[in-house]
Amino acid sequence: MSKNDPIEKSRRLYRSGRWQYADTESPLDLGPLGYFAVSTMRAYLRGEEVETFLDIGGGEGTVGRMVTRGKCQAILDPVIESLQVAHDYCNQTVGGDGRTLPFADGLFDMVLLNDVLEHIPQRDVPLMLHEAYRVLRPGGIGIIHTSSFGIYMRRWLRPGPPGRLDADDIADGHLNRMEKYELLQYIAGAGFKTEKFVFYKHFFQPISDLPIRLFKMIWRILRGERSDYSDIRSKVNKNGFVRFFNRLRCWIPFLDALVWGKWAGGAVVVKVRKSYNPSAGRD
C-alpha cells in the first residue's frame, strides 16, 4: 500500500498519538475549534429523533458521543486500534472504508462525517457522500464537519506547498481543502438537501495555540522525551495549565465569526437531509 494512501496515512497518524482522545470528556477539552464544532452539531440535533446513528471515520467515537450526548450505535473506521477503544462505548464497531459502507440501504436515522472528508482525495468526496446518502433512511439527517478554503492566518504562519494545503494540513494528513461552492455541489449531487451551513473561522486561532505549543515544547525538552509522542501528549494534556487554557481560549472562534463573517477560511459545519422521496433530486 502506498505511503500516500489516505487509509494508511490515517493509521500512521493515529499510532503517533495525534488523534487519541479517549480521556477527553468535555467539548471544552477539544480547544476552541472542537468546542465550536461540537456545540454547533449539538444544536443541529435539537428536535430530531435519532435512534440509529453511524459515525463514519469516527475513530474512538469521542466526538460522536459528545454530539449525541452519549449515544453510540455504530462506528466505521479503518484504524482498528481506535475501534478497540470505541468498543468500550459503542454497540457496533466496524473496520472499513467510508467510500464503501458495509451497511444496508436506509439503515440509519443519522450519519456523522466529522473531520473525514478532508482526509480523502477530493475526487472521492462525491463517492463518500453518496454512500452516506444510501445508508440513511428517507428523512434521515447527515452532519458534516470539514475544512474549508479561504483567508486565514495559519496559511501565513505555516505555509505549505503550492495549493490550498498549509503545513498543518499536511501534518494532519489532509488531502483536500474545499471551497464552499464545491462542497455544496457535492452535497446536492449526492441527493441531499442542505438545511444549515455554518462557517467557523481559523483566523485568530493560531494566536491562541501559541502558548499551548510553547508549553508542550518546553515540557518535552525538560523531560527529555522525544520519541513516544502518544505518551507525551497524554501527560501534557492532563496538566492543569493546558486544560485550563484550552477552556479559556474557546472564545476565539466566536471572535473570528464576529469580525470576519464569511470571509475567513477555516471549517464548516453542515446539516443535510435525505428527501422523503429518495429518488428526488439525485443526479
Per-residue pLDDT, 260:
62
Rounded to whole angstroms, the Cα distance separating 111 from 199 reads: 20
With residue 266 as reference, give the H or E element that holds it: strand 266-274
Per-residue pLDDT, 136:
97
Write down the pTM of the prediction: 0.81
Per-residue pLDDT, 263:
47
Q: Average pLDDT of 29-56?
A: 88
Ordered domains of the chain (ranges, CATH): 6-274 (3.40.50.150)
Range scoring the smallest mean pLDDT among 14-18, 177-181, 226-230 = 226-230
Cβ distance 265 to 148 under 8 Å? Answer: yes
Q: What is the pLDDT of residues 257-267, one digit of tens each?
A: 677 655 455 78
Confidence of residue 141 (pLDDT cuts 50, 70, 90): very high
Per-residue pLDDT, 92:
92
Range scoring the smallest mean pLDDT among 18-32, 100-114, 237-251 = 237-251
**Which residue has better confidence, 7 or 111?**
111
